[in-house]
């Protein structure tokens, strides 16, 4: 065969295969609706990230499907995580967004968990969840010195056992540093916790800084809310004078608790995931669309306007971090179980 004709034939075949693949992807999502099921109430950090992403991800999916956000609250997003794993159809039309802090519940064999974290199909995360501890001006706690000198335990709001922030990082801080804390859990999400703080029902809480900076901006700017401690290994650029929790650790055990229970989970705490068994084609399409969305100029502009930090976490990073939980030694697991679930 003439080389010219052979080359033309190869190009035609390749072009045809690409066209068929693109058409198949487009025809699958054409006219469809994708749900992002968020495990927390509207107005919180998880909800805010999901809604901004939902407004941009559709244009990166062949067929341009409609994307909506559905809030499925309860048990610190455990209901949503269980739903994604056991009930949602693995058809590429349901994405879950819940706290990866729940993965501690599985590792520590707590009741209520109906999933295996290692079998979720991860799409990535828009940001890490690195928290801060904040109190209202009404509480009188405006610095670590005042917190440490408090003569009675300070009421701090939580959602449910297994929720990374507020619950887990409050419990671990109390155990590691011995601070005067009374965790009051059971709120539906961070909006309800914020409201309880504003009304004087609670003194403060621990929440992701990027989400807090977005959803609680006015209170922070007015000084009605003060950040007194950071739950991160390195200070946030905009909180250079706020001390780090780990710097108050007086023992190796305290430092290890903070590193394992507060610093490390920040990578997997805000995952976007699909149900196990989602077809490879849909998985690849959505994973690429998620990655492309986090680079989209329109998305980044809206995220900046909302004060949302975008620090993408890849699928491989998520999988590696989740897998590390299942490699913790028995002594640390026992300690964590005592702190988080007793």
Max CA separation in the chain (angstroms): 91
In this chain, the answer to whether the domains covering 15-128+266-341 and 132-264 adopt an identical fold is yes
Question: In angstroms, rounded to a whole number, what is the distance separating the alpha carbons of residues 96 and 104?
Answer: 18
* Of the candidates 130, 76, 77, 136, the residue with the CA atom closest to the CA atom of residue 263: 130
Domain boundaries, the chain: 15-128+266-341, 132-264
CATH code that applies to domain 15-128+266-341:
3.40.190.150
Q: For domain 132-264, give its CATH number from 3.40.50.10300, 3.40.190.10, 3.40.47.10, 3.40.50.970.
A: 3.40.190.10
Q: One digit per residue, pLDDT tens: the chain, 342 residues?
A: 554 454 444 444 444 444 434 445 568 999 999 999 999 999 888 999 999 999 999 999 999 999 999 999 999 999 999 999 999 999 999 999 999 999 999 999 999 999 999 999 999 999 998 999 999 999 999 999 999 999 999 999 999 888 888 999 999 999 999 999 999 999 988 899 999 999 999 999 999 898 888 889 999 999 999 999 999 999 999 999 999 999 999 999 999 999 999 999 999 999 999 999 999 999 999 999 999 999 999 999 999 998 888 999 999 999 999 999 999 999 999 999 999 998
Structure tokens at 48: 């805010």
- How, if at all, do strands 33-38 and 66-71 pair? parallel
pLDDT tens digits, one per residue of 219-232? 999 999 999 999 99
pTM of the predicted protein model: 0.82
Interaxial angle between packed helices 280-293 and 45-57, expressed in degrees from 0 to 180 and rounded to the nearest 10 = 100
Q: For the chain, give the mean pLDDT.
A: 91
pLDDT digits (tens, 9 = 90+) for 21-34: 444 556 899 999 99
Q: Answer yes or no: are the C-beta atoms of 193 and 166 closer than 8 Å.
A: yes
* Phi then psi dihedrals of residue 143, to 5 deg: -160, 165
């Amino acid at each position: 065969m003439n080389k010219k004709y052979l080359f033309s034939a190869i190009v035609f075949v390749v072009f045809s295969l690409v066209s068929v693949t693109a058409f198949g992807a487009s025809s699958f999502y054409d006219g469809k609706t994708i749900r992002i099921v968020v495990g927390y109430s509207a107005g919180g950090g998880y909800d805010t990230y999901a809604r901004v992403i939902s407004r941009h991800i559709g244009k990166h999916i062949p067929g341009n499907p409609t994307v909506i956000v559905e809030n499925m609250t309860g048990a610190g997003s455990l209901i949503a995580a269980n739903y994604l794993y056991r009930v949602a159809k693995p058809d590429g039309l349901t994405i879950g967004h819940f706290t990866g802090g729940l993965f501690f519940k599985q590792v520590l064999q707590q009741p209520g968990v109906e999933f295996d974290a290692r079998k979720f199909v991860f799409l990535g995360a828009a940001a890490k969840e690195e928290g801060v501890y904040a109190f209202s001006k009404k509480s009188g706690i405006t610095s670590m010195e005042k917190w440490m000198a408090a003569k009675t335990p300070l009421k701090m709001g939580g959602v449910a056992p297994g929720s990374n922030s507020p619950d887990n990082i409050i419990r671990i801080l109390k155990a590691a540093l011995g601070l005067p804390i009374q965790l009051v859990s059971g709120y539906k999400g961070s909006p309800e916790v914020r409201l309880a703080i504003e009304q004087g029902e609670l003194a403060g809480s621990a929440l992701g800084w990027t989400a807090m900076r977005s959803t609680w901006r006015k209170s922070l700017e007015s000084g009605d809310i003060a950040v007194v401690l950071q739950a991160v290994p390195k200070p946030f650029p905009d909180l250079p004078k706020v001390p780090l929790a780990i710097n108050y650790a007086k023992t190796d055990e305290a430092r290890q608790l903070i590193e394992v229970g507060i610093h490390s989970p920040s990578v997997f705490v805000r995952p976007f995931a699909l149900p196990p068994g989602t077809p490879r084609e849909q998985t690849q399409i959505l994973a690429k669309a998620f990655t492309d969305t986090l680079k989209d100029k329109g998305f980044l502009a809206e995220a900046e306007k909302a004060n949302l930090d975008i620090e993408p976490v890849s699928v491989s990073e998520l999988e590696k971090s989740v897998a590390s939980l299942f490699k913790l030694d028995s002594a640390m697991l026992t300690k964590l179980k005592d702190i988080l679930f007793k």
